[in-house]
Amino acid sequence: MPKTFPTHPVPCAAGIGLRSIHISEMLSRRPAAGWLEVHAENYMGQSAAVEALEKLREVYPLSVHGVGLSLGSASGLDRAHLERLRLVCERFQPAIVSEHLAWSVADGAYLNDLLPLRYDDEALTIVSGNIGRLQDTLKRQVFIENLSAYLAFAESSMTEAEFLNELVNRTGCGLLLDVNNVHVSASNLDFDALAFIDALPADAIGEIHLAGHAVNEVDGDVILIDDHGSRVPPAVWSLYAHALRRIGPRPTLIEWDTDVPPLEVLLGEAMWADMLARSIAFGERPEEPPVAVRDSRFETMTLPRRDDASGIRFPALAAIAAVRAACGNCAADHCRRDGHVLH
């Protein structure tokens, strides 16, 4: 019988990916973090990490992120792997479940990477069928993440954004917008990252990922590698700001998978994400027109004479009277300019 956890929705705030080197510190400190995300495949067995996650799940909202389902496989989903994912979701009752728009299995061979798809009707039918089976099995909506890419198929008949739009229409899935992946793919494949984000259905985006990447130079060409091994770079922060202005705040994850730094660094990056989101939300707040409120106290108030400012009980009125006394009946430039109407 699975343990019952508090129903914690993932908030529109920044969370961090839970990494093994931080588990002990997370358990002892319980630091402020919007929410946690774990890779499903790390919690499909029984281990000390699984027991630790049960304790953390009592405190933090949780997102489960799959990396091994291979939604693009023409042979369909691996039944055993899908069942293990179902058990993870049943055990930890996450608020969000996500997977990648990618493939990594073919003819029984498992590849240790997430590979891009050819974006055409045939692939759309295959992936839609796999997502439908995934959502039917888990009995919930799943969020699909855009991929980082280093090459494109000449045979593709649609863009990745068009492909994702149609997946949402056909399956009712949500989208996980990985802003770093957009930047990496746009740089490597030379397309407009802003236009990519603008082309996605805003209402379907339920989670955002942020991460760093490596910059490699090969034969004079710059290639970005999505290694999740550094701080979020300025270009990705800028693209994140654009996304927030277009779609509004969303649960946002700081991903860091290689050369994982101390926990404080991850929490610091999450803090920056929260500050940026709040700054944009404040700046985008619609201006409310001033409302004129009648105050009966001023309808009957008589300003004091300029020669009788002494003994006035209200400091502001005393100041006004003093100005009028100083100005006298003058027609000085500053009086006309400032519109003094007390004369």
Q: What is the pLDDT of residues 256-298, one digit of tens each?
A: 999 999 999 999 999 999 999 999 998 876 566 556 655 554 4
Q: What is the pLDDT of residues 105-158, one digit of tens each?
A: 877 788 878 889 999 999 999 999 999 999 999 999 999 999 999 989 999 999
Q: Across residues 58-86, what is the average pLDDT? A: 95
pLDDT at 306 over 50: no
pLDDT at 232 over 70: yes
- Mean pLDDT of all residues in the chain? 86
pLDDT at 309 over 90: no
**DSSP track, 274-288:** HHHHHHHHHHTSPPP
pLDDT at position 294, please?
A: 59
∠ at Cα 51 (258, 61), nearest 5°?
A: 70
pLDDT at position 3, please?
A: 86
Percent of the chain residues past pLDDT 90, beyond the cut: 73
H/E segment holding residue 205: strand 205-210
Percent of the chain residues past pLDDT 70, beyond the cut: 83
pLDDT at 303 over 70: no
Q: Across residues 181-190, what is the average pLDDT? A: 96
Contact between 207 and 237 under an 8 Å Cβ cutoff? The reply is: no
pLDDT at position 112, please?
A: 77
Residue with tokens 């922060």: 237
The tokens for 161 are: 């954004």
Q: How far is CA 113 from CA 77, 103, 116, 305, 308, in A?
A: 16, 8, 10, 84, 86
pLDDT at 199 over 90: yes
Contact between 303 and 320 under an 8 Å Cβ cutoff? The reply is: yes
- If one compares 239 and 334, the residue with the highest pLDDT of the two is 239
pLDDT at 312 over 50: no
Please state which of the ranges 46-50, 55-59, 72-76, 304-308 shows the lowest mean pLDDT.
304-308
pLDDT at 19 over 50: yes
Long-range contacts of residues 84-88, Cβ cutoff 8 Å, at least 24 apart: 84/40, 84/44, 85/40, 85/44, 85/138, 86/137, 86/138, 87/44, 88/40, 88/43, 88/44, 88/64
* pLDDT band, very low/low/confident/very high, at 242 (cuts 50, 70, 90): very high
Q: Across residues 241-248, what is the average pLDDT? A: 96
pLDDT at position 107, please?
A: 78
Dihedral over Cα of 198, 199, 203, 207: its sign: negative
pLDDT at position 218, please?
A: 83
Q: Across residues 78-98, what is the average pLDDT? A: 97
- With 0-12 CB in 10 A as exposed, 13-18 as middle and 19+ as buried, what is 80? exposed
* pLDDT band, very low/low/confident/very high, at 20 (cuts 50, 70, 90): very high
Backbone angles phi, psi at 19, to 5 degrees: -115, 150
- If one compares 152 and 164, the residue with the highest pLDDT of the two is 164
Please state which of the ranges 62-66, 305-309, 333-337 shows the lowest mean pLDDT.
333-337
pLDDT at position 1, please?
A: 67
Contact between 321 and 312 under an 8 Å Cβ cutoff? The reply is: yes
The tokens for 143 are: 């969020």
pLDDT at position 286, please?
A: 59
pLDDT at position 220, please?
A: 86
